[in-house]
Amino acid sequence: MSTPTPKAAAETEPIHITLPGQSTIHPSTSNGKTNYMYSPTKLPPKQDPLLQFFVNLLMRDGKKASAERYIADMLAYIAKLTNSDPLPVVYEAVELARPILRMQTRKQGGKNMQVPIPLNERQSTRRALKWIIDAGNKRSDRSISRRLAVEILAVVEGNSSVLSRKEEQHKVGMINRANASVRI
């Protein structure tokens, strides 16, 4: 008798997902397919530091509850489209969009010099989230949640303007790397 392969065992066992601060969420199965039953009430965006950062960047006029609702709806829409846990998708999109440097213009000897400056993790994460929000705002859907979800999925798939913006910034940084020793 042969032992089941890990892949076969994973397909037969139900998947249990535990989110911080909540009990286990069991996906429903119908017709043999796993269907993640996420809703904005089941996903606590307050628990995850990246999502909390996202909420704070998305918030306008102090309306944090609205921003939290947008993020929860975005996560539910990503879960619906991908049929998987949305948090790893968001983390992957932010990781792909994070720049490692920024350019600062410095005037020296009558010339304007572009000086590349490295970013720490928080700065690069903030820049990536802002770029995702800006690119999402340029999309044509009515719902901000859907626009953000589609933009995050586009970043993961590799066909987003956020990635071209990051590549352009890195290219300019490599061209001007000789100016890195210039004092700011």
Residue 150 is part of which domain span?
49-179
Q: What tokens does 180 get? A: 């890195």
pLDDT score for 71: 93
Classify 162 as helix, strand or coil: helix
Q: By the 8 A CB rule, do 163 and 128 touch?
A: no
Number of domains into which the chain is organized: 1
Q: Indicate the pTM of the whole model.
A: 0.74
Please write the tens of the pLDDT for every residue from 76-131: 999 999 998 899 999 999 999 999 999 999 988 889 999 999 999 999 999 999 99
Check residue 148 and give left, alpha or beta (phi > 0: left; psi -120 to 50: alpha): alpha
Q: Could you tell me the maximum CA-CA distance found in the chain, to the nearest angstrom?
A: 81
Question: Has residue 29 been placed in a domain?
Answer: no
pLDDT score for 44: 52
Question: Has residue 158 been placed in a domain?
Answer: yes
Question: Has residue 61 been placed in a domain?
Answer: yes
Top pLDDT among 172 and 37 is at: 172
Query: Picking from 129-138, 148-157, 174-183, which range would have the lowest pLDDT averaged per residue?
Result: 174-183
Residue 18 in this model has a pLDDT that exceeds 50: no
Task: CATH number of the domain at 170, please.
Answer: 1.10.455.10
Residue of 52, 50, 122, 58 lying closest to 88 (CA atoms): 50
